[in-house]
Amino acid sequence: MLLPNPPTPSVQSDVSSEVETTSKRSHEEEDMNGVSEEQPVSKRSLNEKNIGCNVPSTSHQIYCDIDLSNLVADPGLRKQISSYHPNDRDLVRRAYLLKGPCQPKDHQFPQKMMRGKLRKFVKDWFDDFKGWLEYSIEKDAVFCLYCFLFRREQGMQGGGKTFTETGYNNWERKSNLQVHVGGVNSAHNKAYMMAQDLLNQNQHIESVIIKQSDRARSEYRVHLIAVTDVIRFLLHQGLAFRGHDESETSSNRGNFLELLEYTADHNETIKTILQNASENLKLTSPDIQKDMVNACAVETMIVILKDLGNALFAILIDEARDVSIKEQMVVVLRYVDKSGCVIERFFGVVHVNDTSAISLKKAIEEFFSKHGLSITRLRGQGYDGASNMRGEFNGLKALILNDNKSAFYVHCFAHQLQLALVAVAKNQEDIALLFNIVSNVVNIVGASCKRRDALREKNALRVMEAFGKGEIQSGRGLLQETGLKRSGDTRWGSHYGTLLSLICMFPSVIDVLEDIAEEGRNSEQRGEASALMDQMQSFTFIFSMYLMKEILGITNDLSKSLQREDQDIVNAMALVEVCKTRLQTMRDSGWDLFLTEVSLTCAKYSVQVPKMEDKFVARGRSRRGVGEVTNLHYYCYKLFYGCIDWQTQELGNRFNETATELLLCMVCLDPRDSFIAFDKTKLIRFAEFYPADFSPIELMVLGDQLETYIMDVRANIKSSELNGLNGLARKLVETRKHIVYPLVYLLITLALTLPVATASVERAFSAMNIVKNRLRNRMGDQFMNDSLITYIEKDIFDGIDNESIIQRFQKMGPRRGQL
């Protein structure tokens, strides 16, 4: 641990210079290019290396920005190693080696005519040449990872540039791959040896020179684990790492340093090690933190990708504009895991420079390529329609559908529904005003604890009174509302709850406002409270409040069902129809009843009800502004019919034809009531939506399989014990029937993959805001992405042991300490 500070040779030259002496020294330029033996210790060569930063350097070196976590994966697209600065090359090589060869196993490899026969890449070759064979989706050709990373100019041996730059695509001749590997001293095998050396820490000159004692090693490990624990804690809680002032004298040096110190204060061993660590071995630099966080995120991603396996998936995309006004896409994957459960996982934040559909598509492709996924595996797409990038997302959706017809766009219905409500509010100023007032009331009443207590007290009394008069039935959910709910910005479903509370507690709320108006802290507050009180006690307000309560009430079950994580589409489709019918009924015959209810409420609170046949006078306007419109026209036609029609129209538009057909076919998989919905013809129609998954022959097999399947499950699975389609999938896996009926099971997984609910996207978003607010503007894209993955996918992150993290951290760059 207590390393002397010898004139460390540049780390970047270690492997290459050492290895090069054994291979042909044919690229002097690499050594001459600034990395000579006498070169002063560059900052890069220290443990605390800087990635992606311009390191002020005394020498003439120029470090370009390389984002090691985001290296291009597709071998047909990436930059040649020689195009990196010599000092960066080993970092890049190491990153690629850690990533492993690019093997998109589940890509649909295109066929091409070769000497009269259709041929394509055979994915089994990945297994035959596991360590090195790489496939480029872009070029439809294979490459060699080791040769790409380490090959020198060696003429045509091993295929020249075929496996490093141009790519090999003669699918008739697999034998050439074996030829490429060659004998012990082949170019390929030499490259392989160099790769092993690079990954083997002991080969580093640094390590060789500084033989670390066993004690130093074990101290390093303790030190590293202490730092890892601190980092894990911060990630887990979504806390900021750094403080504003991290100097020794600062009273608050930021969470990371403070927590590390706290740990040391409670553990003598760690304390001694930390105190004894020399300045550049403290493992506290921001770059060490970044690497460590990245190691955590990468390990988490590995688990997620492993769980995804070769499942088909859907993507859910939403935009996020962070404080620094960068456009970001949040990507969530939805798939059915091996036990038959629907999983939605936060997959990362993609930063885009411009928001044209083409750039978005490119960003998605790069993102997929980075994780070894292929767009051919997509079976669904969903976007947050409420976002600013709505138009661009439409373009992106179309571009993806061009590539893959089965990437169905079944919109996140929950968001659609919210959008519809936003549209209603935007269309009607009285409705907009209603929500504005409500949110002000919630703010002013909910502002302090004291006031909330006052509300509870008064409400309790009111509820007691109400019981006496028999107005409220007990046992209803409303009674449990003990405080006014705060409604989220865009989560309109929650407005329903708020309106319910407000209606239920209307008199108490007015009382509390009155209190504030009289005894508020300052005149501003008193004024606001009294203005709100005024606005609330008007016919228009009460009318709008009840109208929105009715409309939101009708769509509430649908909205809730769409947002539930275990939501199944069958219910959703049924609810859409129910909503449409209920809205129609309300329009046809609901007006009189509605007006009576509003009028009674007004009478109860002594609010004047205008005569419907009088001319309408808009609030706050002078009498001169009285138009030709009657109150009946305004309240009934404009507000009542207007809002209902708008909502009906939005529902119709958003649940469109393809989506509906797809979903209605899917309904036939519903296991309820002994699979009563089962319809073989429709299910085959459903399979036809996925030509990549069902060949014409398989469609015929599917027909037979469906008949046996339905007899089997009707006889042997109690559908009443299943929780929808979701439960059916799990049950089939449990009883191993998914192996017996692979095509039927595939159909079920496809149905479950469609992104109908978006619970996770919202989850990712609120998490993103938590993390971002705390970390403010000071996080780079990668750091934020890493923090988010570990924060949102905690359940996975928590299961990863420290050892995997420190091993990865150790391999990510040359480290001074050895494990």
Binding site for Zn ion (CB under 5 A): 144, 146-147, 188
Report in angstroms how near the CB of residue 127 gets to Zn ion at its nearest: 17
* Least distance CB 132 / Zn ion (angstroms): 6
**Shortest reach from residue 165's CB to Zn ion, in Å:** 12
Minimum CB distance to Zn ion, residue 86 (Å): 22
Task: Phi first, then psi: give them for residue 451, nearest 5 degrees.
Answer: -65, -35
Q: Which of 176/267 has CB closer to Zn ion?
A: 176
Choose between 187 and 444: whose C-beta lies nearer to Zn ion: 187
**Least distance from C-beta 179 to Zn ion, angstroms?**
11
Residue number, 144 or 812, with CB nearest to Zn ion:
144
Q: Which is nearer to Zn ion, 102 or 147 (CB)?
A: 147
Residues in CB range of 632: below 8 A, 6 or more apart: 612, 613
The Cα–Cα gap between 815 and 288 comes to: 10
d(CA 742, CA 748): 10
For Zn ion, the nearest residue by Cβ is 144
Q: Phi first, then psi: what are they for 14, rounded to 5°?
A: -60, -65
If you compute the radius of gyration of the chain from its CA atoms, what whole number of angstroms results?
A: 32
Return the number of the residue (177 or 259) whose C-beta is nearest Zn ion.
177
Task: Give residues with Cβ within 8 angstroms of 680, minimum separation 6.
Answer: 703, 706, 707, 710
The answer for 94, left when phi > 0, alpha when psi is -120 to 50, beta otherwise, is: alpha
Q: Of the candidates 571, 580, 559, which has an alpha carbon nearest to the alpha carbon of residue 647?
A: 580
Q: Tell the smallest beta-carbon distance from residue 160 to Zn ion (Å).
A: 11
DSSP run (H or E) holding 160: none
Q: How far is the CB of 21 from Zn ion (least distance, A)?
A: 21
Percent of the chain as helix, strand, coil, to the nearest 5? 60, 5, 35
By beta-carbon proximity to Zn ion, the closer residue of 144 and 751 is: 144
Q: Which of 57, 131, 123 is nearest to 101 (CA)?
A: 131
> Interhelix angle for 696-716 vs 680-688, to 10°?
140
CB 85, min distance to Zn ion, A: 24
For Zn ion, the closer of residues 89 and 462 by Cβ is: 89
How many CB atoms sit inside 10 A of residue 201's CB? 14
Q: Nearest approach, Cβ of 133 to Zn ion (angstroms)? A: 9
Residue 170 CB, nearest approach to Zn ion (Å): 16
Q: With beta carbons less than 8 A apart as the criterion, state whether 256 and 284 touch.
A: yes
Nearer to Zn ion, 158 or 724 (CB): 158
Min CB(187)–Zn ion separation in Å: 7
Phi, psi values for residue 114, rounded to 5°: -135, 115
> How distant, in Å, are the alpha carbons of 77, 210, 329, 389, 770 from that of 349?
21, 40, 6, 15, 15
Cβ distance 733 to 311 under 8 Å? no
Q: How far is the CB of 192 from Zn ion (least distance, A)?
A: 7
How buried is 477 (Cβ within 10 angstroms: 0-12 exposed, 13-18 middle, 19+ buried)?
A: exposed
The distance from CA 403 to its chain's CA centroid, rounded to whole angstroms, is 23
Cβ closest to Zn ion, residue 129 vs residue 646: 129
Shortest CB 163 distance to Zn ion, Å: 5
Alpha-carbon dihedral sign for residues 472, 477, 483, 484: negative
Cα(490)–Cα(422) distance, integer angstroms: 8
Question: Taking Cα atoms as reference points, which of 785, 776, 778 lies closest to residue 67?
Answer: 785
**Which residue carries 């600062």 as its tokens?**
250
- C-beta separation of 765 from 320 below 8 A: yes
Give which of 36, 32, 48, 49 is closest to 10, Cα–Cα: 36
| Nearer to Zn ion among residue 148 and residue 256 (C-beta) | 148
Shortest distance in whole angstroms from residue 130 CB to Zn ion = 13
143/686 with CB nearer Zn ion: 143
Would you say 146 or 635 has its CB closer to Zn ion?
146
Of 189 and 406, nearer to Zn ion (C-beta) is 189
Residue 797 C-beta: closest distance to Zn ion, Å: 36
Q: Any alpha helices (H) in 309-385, and if so which ranges?
A: 357-370
CB atoms within 10 A of CB 11: 26
Shortest Å distance, C-beta 120 to Zn ion: 22
Q: Considering all CA atoms of the chain, what is the largest pairwise distance in Å, rounded to the nearest integer?
A: 100
Nearer to Zn ion, 135 or 146 (CB): 146
Which CB, 146 or 409, lies closer to Zn ion?
146
Within 8 A by CB and 6+ apart from 112, the residues are 118, 119, 120, 140, 171
Residue 144 is given by DSSP the state E
Comparison of 161 and 486: residue with beta carbon closer to Zn ion: 161
In contact, 196 and 203? CB cutoff 8 Å: no
Q: Phi and psi at residue 502, in whole multiples of 5°?
A: -65, -45
Residue 435, SS3?
Answer: helix
- Residue among 188 and 411 whose Cβ is closer to Zn ion: 188
Which helix (H) or strand (E) segment holds residue 265: the answer is helix 254-265
Q: Considering the complex, what minimum distance in angstroms separates the CB of residue 137 from Zn ion?
A: 20
Other CB atoms within a 10 A radius of the CB of residue 43 amount to: 16
Find tokens 């191993």 and name the residue.
736
